[in-house]
Structure 1
Amino acid sequence: MVHETLSYEKFDVKSTSNGGDVMPMLADFGADLVILDFRVAGINGGELCKQIKCHPDYKDIPVIIFSAYINHDDELYGYGCDAIINKPFDLTELVEKVNSLIL
């Protein structure tokens, strides 16, 4: 749904359900923004965010983390993400958050 919504909004979107694919995808794709689910297959989305933010080539790329853990925002921001979207979320909120981070 996220992929389809952002594609509809004219963003060039690449997606994967495997956390191990994210760093290679960043190298190949040259992303302007990364959206991670906290519960991504293969690795915790927060730890993946930390890897992105610690990498010299990717540290300035904004990262959004989706989470169903509403009361853990402080913990999630501790991973270095730029924004959190709590599940369930409104698609308008998603598009607004993406636009605010890349425009």
Structure 2
Amino acid sequence: MRKRILMLDDNQDVLDIVKEALSYERFEVTITSETENIIENIQAHMPDLLMLDYKMSGTRGDEICREVKAHPQLSNIPVIICSAYLNKDDLLACGCDAIITKPFGLEELVDTVNGLIFSDQRLEAGD
């Protein structure tokens, strides 16, 4: 069974590129730009990994990450936050498992996704 990834970003070009790259790596990728009802959307898809843009119109990625990590059914889903506007310490405080700085290379993206999904390597606050 293919591993499922749900990506939330308000930039359609980023969504399309990430979906193409991760689909090529044999992941089942669902993309969305809708922050409204995102917890219900995550529950409906039950992804193996969640990717969130940090700065979006509507709810920010760190806020969504906090909700996911506080939710009893979703808290074990690894979360990657992607952003050009980030403070690593602030993002780690929200409970994310990895941070990818935009713009990012596809190799970095695939390596980070594989690391979290297959070997459960998570960022530590001291990294």
Q: Given the two structures, how large is their TM-score scaled by the length of structure 1?
A: 0.93
Give the Å deviation of 1:21. Answer: 4.2
1:51 alignment partner, SS class = helix
Give the Å deviation of 1:39. Answer: 1.5
Task: Write the distance in 2 (CA, Å) between the matches of 1:66 and 1:21.
Answer: 20
Task: Write the distance in 1 (CA, Å) between the matches of 2:107 and 2:38.
Answer: 25
- On the 8 A contact 2:69/2:75 being kept in 1, the answer is yes
Counterpart among 28, 40, 43 of residue 56 in structure 2: 40
Counterpart among 61, 67, 79 of residue 51 in structure 1: 67
Structure 1, residues 14-53: CA drift from partner, whole Å, max 9, x if none? Answer: 1101112431221111110000000133201100000000
Give the Å deviation of 1:76. Answer: 0.7
Aligned to 1:101: 116
2:115 alignment partner, SS class = helix
Task: Write the distance in 2 (CA, Å) between the matches of 1:98 and 1:20.
Answer: 25
| Structure 1: segments with no counterpart, 5+ residues | none
Structure with the larger helix share: 1
RMSD (Å), alpha carbons: 1.1
- On the 8 A contact 1:66/1:84 being kept in 2, the answer is yes
Is 2:78 the counterpart of 1:78? no
Task: Write the distance in 1 (CA, Å) between the matches of 2:27 and 2:57.
Answer: 24
Aligned-residue sequence identity (percent) comes to: 47
State the aligned residue count: 102
1:12-23 to 2 correspondences below 5 Å: 12-23=28-39
